[in-house]
Chain A
Amino acid sequence: MANRFCVNLTHAKDNPDKATVGFVIANAALGSGKETLVFLSIEGVRLAQKGYADDIREEGFAPLRELMDNFAKAGGTIYACSPCFKKRKLDENNLVPGATIVGGVKLVEFLSEGSPCVSY
């Protein structure tokens, strides 16, 4: 059984339900003892900006900000896709805790070393 888990998250406020569930599953993976990566791409990269997720609250779930804070505090890793980030002219100096801007190579390396991946 793989000791890693990846959540590929492509949505933010364009689909707050998916954005929220992505972090719920990521926290489930972390809680299960998996080294967990959330890869933010497409619209999902907006979640890497500090403050962006503060007003995302899906009924039936904890606020997204709280889910993301818990993920970072528990040692989860967040990668934000560099070209997606650049395209949206986001601020590299205003990242949420645990986030790093990377290119696709880092995702390829993580998955190539053996990891399931679920996409939202």
Chain B
Amino acid sequence: MSASIPAPRPADAHWDAGDLGCGDLVLELRVCLEAMRPGQILRLTARDLGAQADIPAWCRMTGHTLIAERHPTYHIRRKES
């Protein structure tokens, strides 16, 4: 589940979601990414156990790109539009 991908270039922003999980996590994550410019990278720290399964699924559904993951750290590139 925690298969890792090499760390990307330095992130443009960091959000520590702490123990937030499930709907609370992705709702705030959406707001976070919407505040960024297309192509920018967010480094997310999400300690909730469900994040390991949820963050990749959320990226698949929303079109943002998960470019690196090593729980609890995730690098997400904001989609173009």
Contact = CB atoms under 8 A, between A and B. Distances in A.
**A interface: dominant SS:** helix
Nearest to B24: A83
A103 B50 contact: yes
Interface in B27-68: 48-51, 53-55, 57-58, 60-61
Nearest to B19: A86
Interface of A: 79, 81-83, 85-86, 92, 100-106, 108-109, 112
Contacts of A81: 22, 50
Which 5 pairs between the two chains have the least Cβ-Cβ distance?
A: A82-B50, A103-B50, A103-B22, A105-B54, A103-B54
B3 interface: no
B49 A101 contact: yes
A109 B49 contact: no
B57 A105 contact: yes
Nearest to A105: B54
Given A102-B54, A103-B51, A105-B54, 5 more contacts: A81-B22, A83-B22, A92-B49, A103-B25, A109-B57
B21 interface: yes
Contacts of B53: 79, 100-103, 105-106
Nearest to A92: B49
Contacts, number: 59
Contacts of B50: 81-83, 101-103, 105-106
A112 B49 contact: no
A7 B26 CA distance: 23
A5 B33 CA distance: 32
Contacts of B57: 105-106, 108-109
A89 to B, nearest CB: 13
A104 B57 CA distance: 10
